[in-house]
Amino acid sequence: MALLVQKYGGTSVASIERIKQVAAKVAAAKRAGKDVVVVVSAMAGETNRLIALAQEISKLPDEREKDVLIATGEQVTVALLSLALKEIGQPARSYLGHQVRIETDNAYGKACILSIDSTKIVEALKTGEVVVIAGFQGVDENDNITTLGRGGSDTSAVALAAFLNADACEIYSDVEGVFTTDPRICPDARKLAKVSYDEMIELASTGAKVLEIRSVEFAKKFAVPVHVRSTFTELEGTWLVEEDDSMSDVLVSGVACDKNEAKITLLRVPDRPGLAAQLFGPIADAHIVVDMIIQNASEDGTTDMTFTVPKADHQKALAIVERALPAVHAKGIKVDTEIAKISVVGVGMRTHAGVAAKMFEVLAREQINIQMISTSEIKISVVIAAQHADQAVRALHDAFIR
Ligand code: ASP
Ligand code: MG
């Protein structure tokens, strides 16, 4: 029998009313002849509420206990959804991460899934039950509860689909799919019927928040067909699939905007071997992900070095840089949190030239100054002042997509 993994996000389970709606959808899939494994998030706002509780006690809560706490949000929703399913006559069974054994490493708050034991799930499916599994959580080898990072239920769902060899993984939320850009910024944005894993990885990492990035990497690695769609309509959403020939005809499939980064500049760093290692080593040790890095050619033996980090980590990064300052002999530090990273993404760039030039032209016409540039095979990103972000997105969407 075909096996479907369905994941419902926080807004889809935000109230008892909505949980009942989800139960009806799940039961309908089951009636249509599918085996169904459901993964749920916590009710909308719940994870934030729990984090705030911990912060009332401690500014930097102990990571193990924080995971024990924030994993409870999903315990509520698996139970409620299972109850709702049973209530309408659909046998169901809830499981927490450690009960099925979704094993992760021990990086609290950003744990990675290592393996999933499917025994209990498969047994329950055989008896006709729908299996409802708590997203976002797992257990390490010493039985400590771990969580996967914000938005981690997507990863739980795709990982389950991979380990269970499901026919598809449906990600239900309040958005209808993956759009060419954020429809709230650009009214001309339209829904993509399909998008390649690589494009989605770039879009997710450059600010399109439909899917958590690690879930896309997982989907790519195990070639899981993922269908991103809305809980509240019956419309087809967007399919994440492997790249095919038809895709390379499209130069740019999406324009993404990320306002969650901050820029740190070290002024007049001596230009000699080992400095970058001295600086970025401790930042990596603190698990801070550095995105763009720019170092200029030096004229007088010194150079400015600029890099971006997640805004949420920029204080931490700054403290590390300040500590390293005497050793790297920089003349000073500048921080800018009012930046936006705008990216154009498309597999067509592999085979077509001129996308970067056109992007710069469009921004020039809009009189928008580019502060940083970085590229990959299928993406061009620029950092600009945050105040011009929406204008840039609209102009680029207009130029490349409409
Ligand atoms: N409840 C978790 C969060 O809010 C996980 C998720 O929703 O995917 O981040
Ligand atoms: Mg979510």
The Cβ-side half-sphere exposure at 91, using a 13 Å CA radius, reads 7
Question: φ and ψ at 294, to 5 degrees?
Answer: -130, 130
- State the closest ligand 1 atom to the C-alpha of 154, by its place in the atom list counted from 1: 8
In the block, tokens 């590229």 appear at: 375
H or E segment to which residue 358 belongs: helix 355-365
Cα–Cα distance between 256 and 207 in angstroms, integer? Answer: 6
- pLDDT by residue for the chain (402 residues), tens only, comes to 799 999 999 999 999 999 999 999 999 999 999 999 999 999 999 999 999 999 999 988 999 999 999 999 999 999 999 999 999 999 999 999 999 999 999 999 999 999 999 999 999 999 999 999 999 999 999 999 999 999 999 999 999 999 999 999 999 998 899 999 998 899 999 999 999 999 999 888 776 778 998 999 999 999 999 999 999 999 999 999 999 888 878 889 999 999 999 999 999 988 888 888 888 999 999 989 999 999 887 788 888 999 999 998 999 999 999 998 888 888 899 999 999 999 999 998 988 889 999 999 999 999 999 999 999 999 999 999 999 999 999 999 999 997
| Per-residue confidence (pLDDT) for residue 42, from 0 to 100 | 98
Which pLDDT score is estimated for 231? Answer: 95
109: left (phi over 0), alpha (psi -120 to 50) or beta: left
Question: What is the pLDDT at residue 168?
Answer: 96
pLDDT given at position 209: 77
Number of alpha carbons in the 13 Å side-chain half-sphere of residue 70: 33
pLDDT at 328: 84
Instruction: Please report the pLDDT score of residue 159 as a whole number.
Output: 98
Instruction: Give the Å distance between the CA of 327 and the centre of ligand 2.
Output: 42
Distance CA 91, CA 300 (A): 74
- pLDDT value, residue 164: 97
Query: In this predicted structure, what is the pLDDT of residue 108?
Result: 96
Across 150-177, b (16+ Cβ under 10 Å) vs e yields ebbbbbbbbbbbbbbebebbbbbbebbb
For residue 300, the model assigns a pLDDT of 85
Distance CA 87, CA 241 (A): 36
pTM reported for the whole predicted model: 0.88
CA atoms within 13 A on the CB side of 382: 24
Pocket lining: 8 vs ligand 1, CB cutoff 6 Å: no
Residue the block writes with tokens 């509520």:
76
Q: Which atom of ligand 1 is nearest to the CA of 212?
A: 8
Does the beta carbon of 61 sit less than 6 angstroms from any atom of ligand 1? no
Say which CATH topology domain 3-174 has: Carbamate kinase (3.40.1160)
Domain-wise residue ranges, the chain: 3-174
Residue among 4, 9, 25, 378 nearest 210 (CA): 9
Helices marked H in 13-118: 16-31, 46-57, 63-70, 72-87, 97-100
DSSP state for residue 329 in the 8-state scheme: T
**Residues bordering ligand 2, an ion, CB closer than 5 Å:** 9, 41, 151
State residue 295's pLDDT score: 87
Strand bridging mode 137-139 / 145-147: antiparallel
Q: Give the pLDDT of residue 266.
A: 93
